[in-house]
Amino acid sequence: MDMFSLSPLIPSTSKVDGCVEPINIPFDGDEIPYSATDEKAKEVADALDHELDNLMENFTRGFDPGKFDDVVKTSLPILHTDLFPGSYNHLLVILLEDLNKMETTQIALEDGLRERYKCWTLTHPSDTSITDETFFGAEIEILRKLLAPLRDDGDTTKVYWMNTRRPDRAKVCWQLETSVRVIREFKRDVLAAMESKNDDMTIYNPLPVSTERSADMSIKQHRIDACKATLSWDGFRESDIELTTFYQFYKEYVSTYEPAKARASGWLPPKTLEAPHISTKAAKEQDLVSWPTEHRNNITLSLLLKTAMWLSVARGLAAVHLFCDVARFFTLYKPPKLAKPSYICFLQHLTQLRVSIDGIQSHLPTPFPFRDEVLADYNPDYFDDVWKSNRTLAVGLAENLSLLKSNSSGKKLVLSKPPTRTCRALRKEIRSLAQTVVIHGSLAGSWPLKGNINHRKSLPGKKPMASTPTE
């Protein structure tokens, strides 16, 4: 029987081993099949590059991210001259000072707080309060890690500037646009806080144990994880193909043995990570870097705002979102002489912060353990659900410019919907069929179950069971 009677080219058989040679498909090099598609993709990429450059212009007008570490070094001594618990200066010292100086300052502030109020408040921990304290400590810890390049503490964390992440143009543009909104909202909140003193500040979430609280904890954890992801070049990859074993092995192989090809595919960072240059245009009053005229010479506010801008162009949306929320716990004013016990407890907690960044890894793990075949195939729905849930939480992070406001206003966060039963049932059925081989008719023979091959090999003297031929 001629199996290739309908084929325009009948494959020839090799005289050496009898194998069928590959078909030689004629191809006209001058007529590229997908030239129109490639040209359209290039136009889209060029438009996104132009938009990205314009967005970076908003951050570099009046601000030089590449030289911001010099600004930090000259400003830190000034911050210590007017330092008190719960102030913006206090926050900047916690985040920007080296570990030894930060701990020494914390001890001095703690002693001064005890001397000022002549008392020592005691807390009554609960399951929810311990969780809130743990999250707050983790947020301070990751912020110190993100800002490590601005300190002289020997940390070698690289900065993958947003303008160098060209393979992910669309996501970078979206993050920069949202970062502008986050910073402008933060500036409005800081100016509003100057009009009235707030001694009811607390790090404890007012939500009771509920679905809403769980959703809030989920988006907080996602924000921390997203901040950690910015420490790695791979932190911006979000294609579903990342969940395939072949892709992970192929990516690893190309990145190891063909780095030039990997860089062209966006799997490796550029050889040079050049910081964005300061804009040639002078900053105006309505620009992102500018405070109103009456606060323009305030070194603390200037350093606070530029730190947020540096995080935007160096780390991304999650980092600046977290920094602005943490900064909302602090103020410009000294604590009142007659403070509430709850506020004294809050200040006490701030002075007792001791964080180390040694435990934070800069390498981002893969979306699933592709090297462990058993674990990867055991419940792939789990990794798929986590992957999709993170996308939903990222959208929620952009819709809520501050998680503190979403709590106080009673606004409910959107929960991630679980996959439909039909979809899950179909995937399970496919896996069951892949693991079970049923042969009928004359072809029946010693066909073991795919999932039990290794198991049978481990049993000495056991022979594979043959299927019973159908009659």
**C-alpha to C-alpha distance for 353 and 137, rounded to whole angstroms:** 7
pLDDT of residue 4: 43
CA 200 to chain CA centroid, nearest Å: 31
Is the CB of residue 274 less than 8 Å from the CB of residue 162? no
**C-alpha to C-alpha distance for 186 and 146, rounded to whole angstroms:** 19
Task: List C-alpha distances in Å: 106 to 84, 102, 110, 113, 281.
Answer: 10, 6, 6, 10, 41
Least confident of 104-113, 229-238, 323-332: 229-238
pLDDT of residue 461: 47
Bridge partners (DSSP) of residue 331 are 87
- How far is the first Cα of the chain from the last one, in angstroms, to the nearest whole number? 28
pLDDT of residue 436: 45
CA-closest candidate to residue 59, choices 139, 140, 173:
173
Dihedral-angle region of residue 154 (phi above 0 means left; psi in -120 to 50 means alpha; beta otherwise): left
Residue ranges in 31-83 assigned as alpha helix (H): 35-60, 68-79
Give the dihedral sign, CA 284/290/176/236: positive
pLDDT-derived band at 182, boundaries 50, 70, 90: very high
Q: Name the residue type at position 128.
A: T
Q: At 156, list the tokens.
A: 């070698």
pLDDT of residue 357: 76
Please list, residue by residue across 53-72, b when 16 or more beta carbons sit within 10 angstroms of its beta carbon and e when fewer do.
eebbebbbbbbbbbebeebb
Residue with tokens 């199996």: 3
**C-alpha to C-alpha distance for 363 and 229, rounded to whole angstroms:** 8
Is the CB of residue 90 less than 8 Å from the CB of residue 332? no
Q: At 360, list the tokens.
A: 């934070």
pLDDT per residue as tens digits for the range 370-415? 777 777 676 777 777 777 777 777 888 888 999 987 655 445 544 5
pLDDT of 27 higher than 70: no
Question: Which one is predicted more confidently, 453 or 125?
Answer: 125
Q: At 438, list the tokens.
A: 């049923």
The residue-averaged pLDDT of 25-36 equals 53
Could you tell me which residues come within 8 angstroms of residue 78 by beta carbon, excluding any fewer than 6 positions away?
299
pLDDT of residue 230: 92
Is the CB of residue 66 less than 8 Å from the CB of residue 273? no
